[in-house]
Structure 1
Amino acid sequence: MASPLITLRENTIWENKHGTVSITPRSLCDVWNTWVGPGVSNGPIWRPGLAGLRALVAQAEAQNQRIRGLGGAWSLSPAAATHGIMVNTKPLNYIELGFRDASLDTAFSGNPDALCFAQCGASVLELYQYLEVRGYTLPTSGASNGQTIAGAVSTGTHGSAHSIGSMQDYILGLHMVIDGGRHCWIERASKPVVSPSFCQAIGAELLRDDALFNAAVVSFGSFGLMHAVLFEAEPLFLLEKSLVRMDYARVQAALGTLDVEALDLSGGRELPFHFEVVVNPYRVSRGQRGAYVRYMYKRPYRPTQASAGGSTWVQGDDVMTMLGTVTGWTPHLVPVLLEPILSAQLAPVQGVAGTPGFQFGAADLRGYVMSSEIGVALADAPNAIDAVIDVANRFHWSGFPAIRYVKGSDATLAFTNFSPTACTIELPSAGSPRTLEAFHRVWDELRARGIRFTMHWGQMMRENREWIEYGHGARVEEWLAARQSLLGATGQRAFGSDWLTACGLG
């Protein structure tokens, strides 16, 4: 009888891309969309991969082991790590565009041809390449494309699409492998998409519940193994990118209002589709031009060579890549050395057009880097950014704030769940104990100022229930209740981790 192909490595050290997490799991398993043995029947290409995930969950429970799904290893936090079974999902990268009417609920009002079924291991790059040649694209993504779709969604990855939100905010359905090796399809009751016959055809239990969906979509591997997601792709468009440099005082007012009229951007008072500000915290005085404003307008598509298929890393698009080779800086040199790095990597550009897959291209990670990211309400953004600048000038370290804006998320524990607009403040830095100390000082300063803030699940954070509740409040209990409604005690343990326990969510 045929069985799914699973390759196994034991006692192998695993490290994430940024060098912040290293662990030796009991088993590191690769799951493939391949059957081995006789009796293989025709069926969906993704069927063996699903069977492999189900088998591994059953095995983990039988052995009383924890199990976590591993994507692109992009998270700086230990969200994917466990000493039990780690499942490499990158080989599960099947993508299919378009749904038949029979597979859709009669209440679905979107475009069936734009519905995209993406297996968990499909990378953001693979999705851009697949979609763009078919005239579609992702509604938004993060600043780089190395993450898998499941990893990006489940940790709350975002860009700066103020009218759309983060990546989880356009997801319509989740195909999850849960306790006992069962699998279910989760979607909102208020926004049904697939038909019961579709779920019957794939053998999944249909669960329609807004609270469950909103909790599961950003659950960092804790609700089960995410096999696939469903979303509605957007017709292909271009992003016209510019980057200008100006005094921090000039941009300061816009940071808490998104009123860009005084900035003299090329689109006038129109708020760009993507609006981002990088600040050199040591050059905020008049005449120092310490603010780098990167903005992109959404434009109708026209043929261009700037597409995902030919994209390489676009200089400056992922500020995390800048500092990986910076080591050994003494604190008093930081204000001097940071300026040439920022000015070189964030060079001025004007009106460079490309598809989203081109503009958010491949990040070339180099060296040991760290980053933390916080979310705050739009109105609190100026005070929060000022807190970061104050900490930097009292305690020099090789980081800086990179500020973006997204529509507030409905996901229960999304770190961008500030309504109507969330401001995100990323702190990319070279890896060092001093950087860790700086992060803690920033978090303490924000709280001392009474600013409510959340922390990005895929970046370095304070793993503490009380601090998480400070940002999320009653949402923490709502998330836990949803997890308990989906998983029994065995499943909650199996999909737990030391990191989850440290966060007070295990």
Structure 2
Amino acid sequence: MSTHRNWAGNVRYAARAYHRPSSMDELRELVAGSDRIRAVGSGHSFNRLGDTTGDLVTLAGLPATVRLDEPRRLVDAPAAMRYGDLATWLHERGYAVANLASLPHISLAGAVATGTHGSGETIGNLATAVAGLELVTAAGEPLTVDRDDADFPGMVVSLGALGIVTRLTLEVVPAFDIRQYVHLDLPRAALDEALGSAYSVSVFTDWRSTRGTQVWCKQLAEQSAPPAGWLGTTAADRPWHPVPGMPAVNCTEQLGVAGPWHERLPHFRLGFTPSSGDELQSEYHLPRAVAADALAALDEVAHLTAPVSQTSELRTVAADGLWLSPNQGRDTLAVHFTWIADASAVLPVVAEVERALAPFAPRPHWGKVFTIPTEAIAATYPHWPDFATLLHRLDPTGKFRTEELNHLFPG
């Protein structure tokens, strides 16, 4: 197992064996016979929530059949499929999903299970598109759930704790085109207006000033281009990368060139290494209503974050009703940090960031680096006890548990 690490390389998986079943029967037999097992997707997680000392299984060897139900506007796809590959398949048939994350390299099941998101004031995270899912339970039996099931809101963003998800059914919409513009030096006073100005907006900052260093506006192709001097910014006259010094060729096309949704909504191209690759990441989801106060609190620790941050991204996510979604019940400002790849330097700063954000009920992204105590996280989730009950019912022996999950949900 020493050769098996996460995408960033900061986690070496502790599993005793690594499996790649080629059929559902083989997977069910493997799950039924294991005392501890977890599924691994694209490995784009920066903590040990998905690690196990038992068996680690990839679903990449299962049949990769994709089925489109046009009358119901649904697509059924394998859990291990990357969003970028599904997006290409859908676009060829005239369809899309409503939003994508900043990188298209992540697997469907992993992104959904952790509440991963894109950006947009009126758009939910990726899990909100889920209309149904199939999984293998602790007993090795198949289970299918959809929105008519009482347990459904607890089973979508599940942290991989309820079973091995094998397929997902997602809502689709007609394909659409996007134009992407980058603007420089956004005044903090214009942040709210900027975040609501396009279909999807990301604001990047280096915490060395209160101005946004870059604003990535992904607007519907029919929307008018921003005027000169938009919100006091300067229009970029060349392509940019969110991380200073990285080549912009890795990024999706900018400068207002219209193109398919799946080639503009992510920040990074499917065929290139996303972000910088040599990094750690943290992210905190805050009530949208406290954005100004929360950012002011982060300004107070900027002298700590700036030296160890490669870039930081501000995005918005619409509220939803999924029990463990970081956006459950509240419209959200998500504050993301791309750190340098030095845990000893970064972790003390993470603790200071969390201390600054504590008055604003932060919810950490489940797949990134955080140190917030369990009781503080649980207090922000009204359905935390409901998920704990569901977890104990579906996995009574703790087959899908990890050390990190045991900290979150003891017992």
TM-score (norm 2): 0.87
1:386 Cα deviation from its structure 2 partner: 2.2
Match of 1:237 among 176, 183, 199: 176
Judge conservation of contact 1:115–1:232 (CA < 8 Å) in 2: yes
State the partner residue of 1:74. Answer: 44
Match of 1:291 among 208, 213, 216: 213
Q: How does 1:75-94 map to 2 (within 5 A)?
A: 75-92=45-62, 94=64
Match of 2:75 among 104, 110, 116: 116
- 2:157 is the alignment partner of 1:177: no
State the partner residue of 1:163. Answer: 122
Q: How does 1:204-215 map to 2 (within 5 A)?
A: 208-209=149-150, 212-215=151-154
Looking at structure 1, the residues matched to 130 and 188 of structure 2 have their Cα atoms a distance apart, in angstroms, of: 38
Match of 1:136 among 95, 99, 102: 95
- The one-character-per-residue Cα deviations of 1:268-294 (angstroms, maximum 9, x if unpaired) are xx731102111221123xxxx543211
- 2:160 is the alignment partner of 1:221: yes
Match of 1:489 among 396, 399, 406: 396
Looking at structure 2, the residues matched to 345 and 283 of structure 1 have their Cα atoms a distance apart, in angstroms, of: 26
1:185 Cα deviation from its structure 2 partner: 0.8
**Larger helix proportion, structure 1 or 2?**
1
1:505 Cα deviation from its structure 2 partner: 5.1
- 2:18 is the alignment partner of 1:28: yes
In structure 2, relative to structure 1, the CA distance for the partners of 1:394 and 1:25 (3 Å cut) is closer
State the partner residue of 1:460. Answer: 369
- The one-character-per-residue Cα deviations of 1:352-374 (angstroms, maximum 9, x if unpaired) are 22222212232515553101000
Looking at structure 2, the residues matched to 346 and 282 of structure 1 have their Cα atoms a distance apart, in angstroms, of: 24
- 2:105 is the alignment partner of 1:146: yes
Amino acid in the other structure paired with 1:118: A
Amino acid in the other structure paired with 2:93: R
State the partner residue of 1:480. Answer: 388
- The one-character-per-residue Cα deviations of 1:341-362 (angstroms, maximum 9, x if unpaired) are 7999999953222222212232
State the partner residue of 2:336. Answer: 426
Comparing 157-166 with 345-354, which one deviates more in the overlay?
345-354
Q: How does 1:92-107 map to 2 (within 5 A)?
A: 92=62, 94-99=64-69
Looking at structure 2, the residues matched to 488 and 358 of structure 1 have their Cα atoms a distance apart, in angstroms, of: 39
SS, match of residue 125 in structure 1: helix
Match of 1:374 among 284, 309, 315: 284
SS, match of residue 255 in structure 2: strand
State the partner residue of 1:42. Answer: none
Looking at structure 2, the residues matched to 482 and 345 of structure 1 have their Cα atoms a distance apart, in angstroms, of: 42
1:118 Cα deviation from its structure 2 partner: 0.6
Match of 1:404 among 315, 319, 335: 315
State the partner residue of 1:364. Answer: 273
Of all paired residues, the percent bearing the same amino acid is 22
In structure 2, relative to structure 1, the CA distance for the partners of 1:126 and 1:437 (3 Å cut) is same
- The one-character-per-residue Cα deviations of 1:22-58 (angstroms, maximum 9, x if unpaired) are 12311100122xxxxxxxxxxxxxxx2x222211111
SS, match of residue 393 in structure 1: helix
Looking at structure 2, the residues matched to 342 and 422 of structure 1 have their Cα atoms a distance apart, in angstroms, of: 30
TM-score (norm 1): 0.71
State the partner residue of 1:500. Answer: 405
Judge conservation of contact 1:98–1:115 (CA < 8 Å) in 2: yes
Judge conservation of contact 2:304–2:349 (CA < 8 Å) in 1: no
Unaligned runs of at least 5 residues, structure 1? 1-10, 33-47, 100-110, 190-207, 264-269, 302-313, 323-337
State the partner residue of 2:235. Answer: none
In structure 2, relative to structure 1, the CA distance for the partners of 1:406 and 1:52 (3 Å cut) is same
- 2:5 is the alignment partner of 1:15: yes
State the partner residue of 1:199. Answer: none
Judge conservation of contact 2:188–2:212 (CA < 8 Å) in 1: no
Judge conservation of contact 1:71–1:150 (CA < 8 Å) in 2: yes
1:20 Cα deviation from its structure 2 partner: 2.0
SS, match of residue 89 in structure 2: helix
Larger radius of gyration: 1
Amino acid in the other structure paired with 1:497: T
Judge conservation of contact 2:97–2:172 (CA < 8 Å) in 1: yes
- The one-character-per-residue Cα deviations of 1:116-141 (angstroms, maximum 9, x if unpaired) are 11111111111011111111122212
Unaligned runs of at least 5 residues, structure 2? 224-237
- The one-character-per-residue Cα deviations of 1:214-265 (angstroms, maximum 9, x if unpaired) are 111001110000010001221110111111012433424x1xxxx34xx9xx
Looking at structure 1, the residues matched to 188 and 221 of structure 2 have their Cα atoms a distance apart, in angstroms, of: 30
Looking at structure 2, the residues matched to 402 and 489 of structure 1 have their Cα atoms a distance apart, in angstroms, of: 39
Judge conservation of contact 1:27–1:85 (CA < 8 Å) in 2: yes
Match of 1:355 among 234, 241, 260: 260
In structure 2, relative to structure 1, the CA distance for the partners of 1:357 and 1:58 (3 Å cut) is same
In structure 2, relative to structure 1, the CA distance for the partners of 1:13 and 1:27 (3 Å cut) is same
RMSD: 2.7
SS, match of residue 282 in structure 1: coil
Judge conservation of contact 1:93–1:123 (CA < 8 Å) in 2: no
Judge conservation of contact 1:248–1:279 (CA < 8 Å) in 2: no
State the partner residue of 1:281. Answer: 207
1:488 Cα deviation from its structure 2 partner: 4.7
Aligned length: 390
